[in-house]
């Protein structure tokens, strides 16, 4: 009796084939949908990256496939003072520019978050530096910093503050400062607009509650705005640091790393060694050396993002 029942049940509920299970299983379905995008990313992001890292272990030159030479490129770089100068420049460029971009961007965002006439127009004007192509703005800055025709030098001279033109891009420290300023000018809109978006998600009644609780304007910022903004600050600053660290266009268009390598960043140095001098392996090694720094930046913001318990958990734990 029971045996009969067994057979009948197995007859009606035939085991579905592996293929049809893979087709209908929800977890597998997600994989099917992700596959095209994943392939695309693997082909155009992961593969070149791996190729670059592989290249850094070879002595490849332009038009000549290299042989595996182990860490020789890195050993070479370790003793190369220009490489270390470029690391110093990159860190200086990134840290100074990011801090100032954050401060100015936050200030602008707070300003734009207020009620004021022509708010919409002012907000879009703020975006302009972000919209202009980098090379175009670099050329504009090139003129602004020109050793003969600089408008800044001219204005200061007219005011009688200086006697001679400032050699903005010809002097090492002036060149660094000038490039950092240009980078800040380009980067502030991104920070400001993103933080503004974050500010607008803060309910106005929180400020009213804080006002009634006796908070001054500074205390409202310190205890309400800033902590509520930290998640978006973490995201926007991660991006800002990554963009600044890997900056190439602005430098290349304005100074090409000069004068005397004073403004060489790792990215420009890598291009110069790898493409212009044709030493692909060495260029790849410089580029690969950027990875640990970038990973560190990502990790910092990742852990920064994780700690905020109040954002998570609808549930009662």
Partner 1 sequence: MASVQIRDVRKSFGAVEILHGVSVPIEDGEFVVLVGPSGCGKSTLLRLLAGLENITSGTISIGGRVVNHVHPKERDIAMVFQNYALYPHMTVAKNMGFSLMLRGASKSEIQQRVQRAASILGLEKLLERYPRQLSGGQRQRVAMGRAIVREPQVFLVDEPLSNLDAKLRVAMRTEMKELHQRLKTTTVYVTHDQIEAMTMADKIVVMHDGVIEQMGAPLDLYDRPVNQFVAGFIGSPAMNFLNGKIRANGSAYVETASGDKLPLKTLPSGMEGQEIVYGIRPEHFELGEGGLSADVVVVEPTGSETQIVARIGDQEVIAIFRERQSVKPGDKISLRPRADVAHLFAKDSGKRI
Nearer to partner 1, 54 or 207 (CB): 207
Q: Compose the 93-132 pattern: x for residues touching partner 1 by CB under 8 A, - for all others.
A: ----------------------------------------
Nearer to partner 1, 6 or 213 (CB): 213
Nearer to partner 1, 165 or 230 (CB): 230
Site for partner 1 in 219-238 (CB under 8 A): 219, 223-224, 227-228
Q: What is the smallest separation between the CB atom of 212 and partner 1, expressed in angstroms?
A: 5
- Residue 222, CA distances (Å) to 91, 106, 184, 208, 218 in order: 29, 13, 25, 15, 6
Nearer to partner 1, 5 or 317 (CB): 317
In Å, the largest CA–CA distance within the chain is 111
Site for partner 1 in 179-218 (CB under 8 A): 203, 205-206, 208-215
Nearer to partner 1, 164 or 316 (CB): 316
Told to check if 307 binds partner 1 by CB under 8 A, we report no
- Give yes or no for a contact between 150 and 166, defined as CB atoms under 8 angstroms apart: yes
Site for partner 1 in 135-174 (CB under 8 A): none
Whole-number Å distance between alpha carbons of 134 and 310: 39
Size of the site for partner 1 (CB under 8 A): 26
- Which residues contribute to the site for partner 1 (CB under 8 A)? 203, 205-206, 208-215, 219, 223-224, 227-228, 308-317
């Amino acid at each position: 009796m029971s045996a009969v029942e067994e057979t009948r049940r197995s007859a009606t509920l035939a085991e579905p084939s592996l293929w049809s299970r893979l087709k209908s299983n929800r977890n597998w379905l997600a994989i099917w949908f992700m596959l095209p995008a994943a392939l695309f990313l693997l082909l155009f992001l992961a593969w070149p990256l791996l190729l670059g890292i592989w290249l850094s272990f070879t002595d490849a030159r332009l038009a000549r496939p290299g042989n595996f030479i182990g860490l020789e490129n890195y050993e070479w770089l370790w003793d190369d003072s220009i490489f270390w100068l470029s690391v110093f420049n990159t860190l200086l460029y990134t840290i100074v520019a990011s801090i100032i971009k954050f401060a100015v961007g936050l200030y602008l965002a707070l300003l734009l978050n207020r009620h004021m006439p022509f708010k919409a127009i002012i907000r879009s004007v703020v975006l302009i530096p972000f919209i202009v192509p980098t090379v175009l703005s670099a050329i504009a800055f090139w003129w602004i910093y020109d050793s003969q025709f600089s408008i800044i030098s001219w204005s200061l001279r007219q005011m009688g503050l200086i006697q001679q033109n400032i050699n903005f891009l010809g002097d090492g420290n002036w060149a660094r400062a000038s490039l950092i300023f240009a980078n800040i000018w380009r980067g502030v809109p991104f920070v400001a607009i993103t933080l503004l978006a974050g500010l607008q998600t803060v309910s106005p009644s929180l400020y009213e509650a804080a006002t009634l609780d006796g908070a001054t304007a500074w205390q409202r910022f310190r205890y309400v705005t800033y902590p509520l903004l930290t998640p978006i600050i973490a995201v926007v600053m991660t991006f800002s640091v990554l963009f600044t660290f890997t900056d190439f266009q602005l430098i290349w268009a304005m100074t090409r790393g000069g004068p005397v390598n004073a403004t060489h960043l790792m990215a420009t140095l890598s291009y110069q060694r790898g493409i212009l001098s044709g030493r692909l392996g060495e260029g790849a090694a410089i580029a690969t050396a950027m990875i640990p720094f970038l990973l560190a930046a990502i990790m910092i913001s990742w852990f920064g993002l994780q700690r905020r318990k109040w954002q998570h958990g609808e549930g009662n734990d």
